[in-house]
């Protein structure tokens, strides 16, 4: 059973999410919070498998609440918002969110998003991943502040291959190094499979192995790793 904490300042929105999730046999809503401060306390007490986090709330917004929950490693956070803007995407990811989903997504996507994040995977479309890559590179740094500061410059070329001399890279097989480099360029598993003539399930296994060996939380951290260490 995957446990979920709902965080939104609108009771009606929380009720809607609860209704959607409650019909799934493998999902259970274990708590609700109306602002970010309540969310942090609830996450400490309940230790849910996933936190569904609104962005704009009183007392403490969802970005700061996400930052605190991630810092204490209380639960992965799936950020929900009505705003499809770079600032919210990058602020949420820089704060440590594991996924980003618009509130107007349908019920099926919401349920699958919760399951994906609960499994320890980052929920980022290839388009969002590429926006993260472009923003980091154009800002000239892969550190978190770069995710929140656009320079307006066009992004330079994508990173070269990750060298075996990079920290922890000696633990990776040559194929895993190839997969890691392509993840850093924003390719989805399907695109990597096509690029390397592999099955998508095989690529998923390689990605999982890379994250485990390098102690990376998700694909977002893998992107950061590549841009720090690629040749």
Task: Using alpha carbons, select from 78, 93, 227 the residue that is nearest to residue 160.
Answer: 227
**Domain 148-229 = CATH 3.40.50.2300:** yes
- Identical fold between 2-118 and 148-229: yes
SS3 label, residue 54: strand
Task: Tell me the average confidence (pLDDT) per consecutive run of 10 residues in the chain, 231 residues long.
Answer: 93 92 92 95 95 90 92 90 67 80 82 85 62 58 38 43 82 92 81 90 91 83 77 57
Burial class (CB in 10 A: 0-12, 13-18, 19+), 79: buried
Given 3.40.50.300, 3.40.50.2300, 3.40.309.10, 3.40.50.12780, which CATH number is that of 2-118?
3.40.50.2300
Is the separation of the CB atoms in 159 and 181 below 8 Å? yes
* Cα–Cα distance, 132 to 92 (Å, whole number): 11
The pLDDT of residue 75 is 92
* Cα–Cα distance, 203 to 205 (Å, whole number): 5
SS3 label, residue 30: strand
Domains of the chain by residue range:
2-118, 148-229
Burial class (CB in 10 A: 0-12, 13-18, 19+), 199: exposed
The pLDDT of residue 69 is 94
């Amino acid at each position: 059973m995957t446990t979920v904490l709902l965080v939104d300042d609108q009771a009606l929105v929380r009720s809607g999410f609860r209704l959607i999730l409650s019909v799934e046999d493998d999902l259970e809503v274990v708590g609700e919070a109306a602002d970010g401060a309540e969310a942090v306390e609830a996450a400490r007490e309940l230790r849910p498998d996933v936190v569904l986090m609104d962005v704009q709330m009183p007392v403490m917004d969802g970005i700061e609440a996400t930052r605190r929950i991630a810092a204490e490693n209380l639960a992965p956070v799936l950020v929900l918002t009505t705003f499809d803007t770079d600032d919210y995407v990058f602020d949420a990811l820089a704060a440590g969110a594991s996924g980003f989903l618009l509130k107007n997504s349908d019920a099926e996507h919401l349920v699958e998003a919760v399951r994906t994040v609960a499994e320890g995977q980052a929920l980022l479309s290839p388009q969002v991943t590429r926006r993260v890559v472009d923003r980091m590179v154009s800002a000239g740094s892969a550190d978190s502040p770069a995710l929140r500061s656009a320079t307006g410059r066009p992004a330079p070329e994508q990173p070269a291959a990750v060298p075996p001399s990079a920290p922890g890279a000696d633990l990776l097989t040559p194929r895993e190094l190839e997969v890691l480099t392509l993840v850093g360029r924003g390719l989805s598993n399907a695109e990597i499979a096509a690029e390397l003539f592999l099955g998508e399930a095989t690529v998923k296994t390689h990605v999982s192995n890379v994250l485990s060996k390098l102690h990376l939380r998700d694909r977002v951290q893998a992107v950061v790793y590549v841009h720090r260490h690629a040749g």
